[in-house]
């Protein structure tokens, strides 16, 4: 449902020096980099920015400790460098996190191998390796873990980005500030290729249904698991696929007795490494690796995957007596890994590849294969260099005027609370999600009590944040806002009653009539249920059968 507060200008027959297809973290990073290099750039996304693979990740910013096992030292070094940049430049969204590597006597990985790997990992990061877990910490975990095993504990440091959707929103606005034109809910129907060169892109506005064609100097295909499909629709023929899709599924549970308060990196029931993380006042466990070359828009966690993750948790925490009914929901995404039919999914490189289509009869088009949250910015710089642009290094990127706001500093929180006449809790929440723009949102909240009201009774985030998302962050649907720009609907408390209350409070400020309210609410509930899949009887049956 369109909220036409900011009608979108028509694109037909416009010329862009760069057109980026796909608005996940990689596509947004590439568009931002090209716009900053002075190129007239268009970014299009068929759904909403960050609504695909980006929102279905494990939500960690890490150097890739497991990549050491496969000898990908350069990828680890690159990832660690980018992790430090994000920790420095996006401190309100990316936080250092202590990880506990947890193994028992059945592990295929020896303690010596693990200690050596951690020493190398920390050395590559330029930091001393942390001390092993404290005796108090070990005893607390031993009380919760399976007492039938001998456990070994190892500490190391990485980082978490609980809401990569917010990171994408910030980069998106920086792309716009640099001159980029951005369109979500805009499908790239095909790339126009003539005489061996890309000439433009055919587009369809999913909101209005109108088609358009734009000229393009370069086309960068950042559509992730849709990359091969973009080429197929454009009649670009290749000898083999670029992608070998691998589905990764996660489960989300409420906190349970003995649940970890720090991140765990451990082994699943088959010895594969998995993460168990505190996330958004819940527990996030994942991920799986299942070959999946189906429609990425229809991918869902299978009952077998849910059972696999649940059994792995139960094996670790038998005293918690977890069951399929303990799982709130599950979600899945397709990793767009390079086509590698002879390798196990875990052995396929996580390094990104830039495929130049000149040899496929479509010069001036590049497809981005792979990539991850941590290295999106370095991928964008490499892509810019590939098309002949200068690429700004991260330590020279300007991310906005003024000092960073630290939501952990009480004085800063009090100042935002004073500006907006809002509670300290609301001020801290705004700072955590909006960083330097917190003061602008607080000033908006000061305008009326309706704008200062919480979005729903269970959150401290306020309606002013929603209005900001519609006005300045390219949000169009209620899902764009509540799942990504102001992602309160990912919270532990959220229910259908929260959705109704939020729609009423938002609609009152935006002037929705009853019909608009109902359409927005129905579309939102449908989108949320398709993303955060309820764990139903099939999963419960599968778990019971195992």
DSSP 391-437: ---GGG----SSPPP-TT-HHHHHHHHHHHT--HHHHHHHHHHHGGG
Let me know whether 433 and 474 are in one domain: yes
Let me know whether 430 and 469 are in one domain: yes
Residue 541 has pLDDT above 80, yes or no: no
**pTM exceeds cut of 0.75:** yes
Choose the final residue of a domain: 331, 357, 381.
331
Residue 1 has a pLDDT of 34
Let me know whether 201 and 220 are in one domain: yes
Let me know whether 226 and 291 are in one domain: no
What value does the mean pLDDT take over residues 412-419? 94
Let me know whether 206 and 308 are in one domain: no
Residue 128 has a pLDDT of 64
Is 61 domain-assigned? Answer: no
Let me know whether 273 and 237 are in one domain: no
Let me know whether 221 and 265 are in one domain: no
User: How many separate domains does the chain show?
Assistant: 3
**Whole-angstrom distance, CA of residue 85 vs CA of residue 78:** 11
Name 400's Cβ contacts closer than 8 Å, sequence gap at least 6.
Answer: 174, 436
Residue 439 has pLDDT above 50, yes or no: yes
The answer to whether residues 231 and 219 touch, using CB atoms and an 8 Å cutoff, is no
Residue 9 has pLDDT above 50, yes or no: yes
Residue 3 has pLDDT above 50, yes or no: no
- Per cent of the chain over pLDDT 70 is 91
Residue 383 has pLDDT above 70, yes or no: yes
H/E stretch holding 355 reads: strand 353-356
**Whole-angstrom distance, CA of residue 81 vs CA of residue 265:** 21
Let me know whether 238 and 367 are in one domain: yes
Answer with the residue of higher pLDDT: 244 or 407.
244
Answer with the residue of higher pLDDT: 541 or 106.
106
Q: What's the whole-number average pLDDT of the chain?
A: 90
The answer to whether residues 333 and 168 touch, using CB atoms and an 8 Å cutoff, is no
**Whole-angstrom distance, CA of residue 472 vs CA of residue 450:** 19
Let me know whether 207 and 260 are in one domain: no
Residue 130 has a pLDDT of 55
Let me know whether 116 and 221 are in one domain: no
Identity of the highest mean pLDDT range in 125-129, 239-243, 340-344, 479-483: 479-483
Q: Which structural domain, as residue segments, surrounds residue 230?
A: 15-54+165-243+349-396
Q: What is the pLDDT of residues 483-539, one digit of tens each?
A: 999 999 999 989 999 999 999 999 999 999 999 999 999 999 999 999 999 985 544
Is 10 domain-assigned? Answer: no
Is 8 domain-assigned? Answer: no
CATH number at residue 196: 3.50.50.60
Is 415 domain-assigned? Answer: yes
| Coil/strand/helix, residue 71 | coil
Let me know whether 217 and 262 are in one domain: no
* Three-class SS of 102-138: EEECCCCCCHHHHHHHHHHHHHHCCCCCCCCCCHHHH
Let me know whether 239 and 250 are in one domain: no
Residues facing residue 454 across a β-bridge: 462
Answer with the residue of higher pLDDT: 260 or 44.
44
What value does the mean pLDDT take over residues 98-109? 86
Choose the final residue of a domain: 281, 304, 331.
331
Answer with the residue of higher pLDDT: 456 or 391.
456
Long-range contacts of 63-67 (CB under 8 A, 24+ apart): 63/121, 63/124, 63/125, 63/158, 63/374, 64/350, 64/374, 65/101, 65/117, 65/118, 65/121, 65/156, 65/158, 65/265, 66/273, 67/350
Is 74 domain-assigned? Answer: no
What value does the mean pLDDT take over residues 79-101? 94
Is 344 domain-assigned? Answer: no
pLDDT band at 407 (very low <50, low <70, confident <90, very high): low
Residue 399 has a pLDDT of 40
Query: Which residue from 402, 256, 242 is spatially nearest to 323, judged by alpha carbons?
Result: 256
CATH number at residue 119: 3.30.9.10
What value does the mean pLDDT take over residues 9-24? 95
Residue 397 has pLDDT above 60, yes or no: no
Q: What is the pLDDT of residues 169-220, one digit of tens each?
A: 999 999 999 999 999 999 999 999 999 999 999 999 999 999 999 999 999 9
What value does the mean pLDDT take over residues 440-456? 96
What number of CA atoms fall less than 13 Å from residue 362's CA on the CB side?
A: 28
Q: What is the pLDDT of residues 346-356, one digit of tens each?
A: 767 778 899 99
């Amino acid at each position: 449902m369109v909220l036409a507060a900011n009608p979108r200008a028509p694109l037909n027959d416009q010329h862009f020096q760069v057109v980026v297809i796909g608005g996940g973290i990689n596509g947004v990073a590439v568009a931002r980099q090209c716009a900053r290099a002075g190129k007239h750039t268009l970014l299009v996304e068929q759904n909403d920015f960050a609504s695909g693979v980006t929102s279905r990740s494990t939500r960690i910013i890490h150097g890739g400790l497991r990549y050491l096992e496969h000898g990908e030292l350069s990828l680890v070094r690159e990832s660690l460098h980018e992790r430090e940049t994000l920790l420095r430049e996006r401190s309100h969204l990316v936080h250092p996190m202590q990880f506990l590597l947890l193994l028992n006597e059945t592990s295929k990985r020896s303690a010596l191998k693990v200690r050596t790997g951690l020493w190398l990992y920390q050395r590559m990061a330029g930091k001393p390796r942390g001390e092993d877990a404290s005796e108090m910490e070990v005893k607390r975990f031993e009380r919760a873990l399976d007492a039938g095993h001998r456990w070994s504990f190892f500490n190391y440091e990485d980082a978490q980005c609980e809401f990569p959707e917010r990171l994408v929103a910030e980069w998106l606005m920086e792309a716009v500030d640099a001159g980029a034109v951005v369109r979500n809910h805009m499908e790239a129907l095909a790339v126009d290729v003539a005489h061996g060169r890309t000439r433009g892109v055919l587009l369809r506005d999913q909101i209005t249904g109108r088609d358009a064609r734009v000229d393009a100097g370069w086309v960068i295909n950042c559509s992730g698991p849709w990359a091969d499909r973009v080429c197929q629709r454009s009649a670009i023929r290749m000898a083999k696929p670029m992608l070998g899709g691998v589905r990764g599924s996660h489960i989300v549970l409420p906190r349970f007795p003995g649940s970890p308060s720090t991140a765990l990196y451990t082994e699943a029931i088959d010895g594969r490494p998995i993460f168990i993380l505190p996330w958004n006042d819940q527990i996030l466990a994942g991920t799986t690796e299942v070959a999946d070359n189906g429609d990425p828009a229809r991918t869902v966690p299978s009952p077998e995957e849910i059972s696999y993750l649940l059994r792995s948790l139960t094996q670790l925490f038998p005293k918690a007596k977890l069951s399929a009914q303990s799982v709130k929901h599950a979600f899945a995404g397709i990793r767009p890994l390079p086509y590698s039919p002879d390798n196990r999914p875990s052995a396929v490189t996580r390094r990104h590849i830039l495929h130049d289509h000149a040899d496929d009869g479509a010069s001036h088009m590049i497809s981005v294969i792979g990539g991850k949250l941590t290295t999106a910015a370095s991928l964008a710089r490499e892509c810019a260099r590939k098309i002949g642009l200068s690429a700004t290094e991260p330590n020279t990127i300007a991310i906005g005027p003024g000092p960073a706001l630290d939501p952990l500093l009480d004085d800063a929180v009090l100042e935002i609370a004073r500006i907006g006449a809002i509670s300290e809790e609301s001020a801290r929440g705004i700072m955590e999600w909006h960083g330097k723009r917190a003061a602008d949102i607080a000033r908006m909240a000061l305008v009326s009590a309706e704008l200062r009201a919480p979005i729903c009774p269970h959150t401290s985030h306020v309606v002013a944040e929603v209005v900001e998302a519609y006005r300045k962050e390219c949000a169009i649907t209620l899902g764009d806002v509540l799942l990504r720009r102001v992602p309160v609907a990912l919270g532990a408390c959220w229910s259908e009653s929260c959705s109704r209350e939020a729609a009423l409070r938002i609609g009152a400020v935006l002037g929705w009539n009853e019909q608009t309210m109902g359409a927005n609410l129905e579309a939102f509930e449908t989108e949320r249920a398709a993303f955060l899949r309820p764990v139903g009887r099939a999963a419960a049956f599968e778990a019971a059968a195992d």
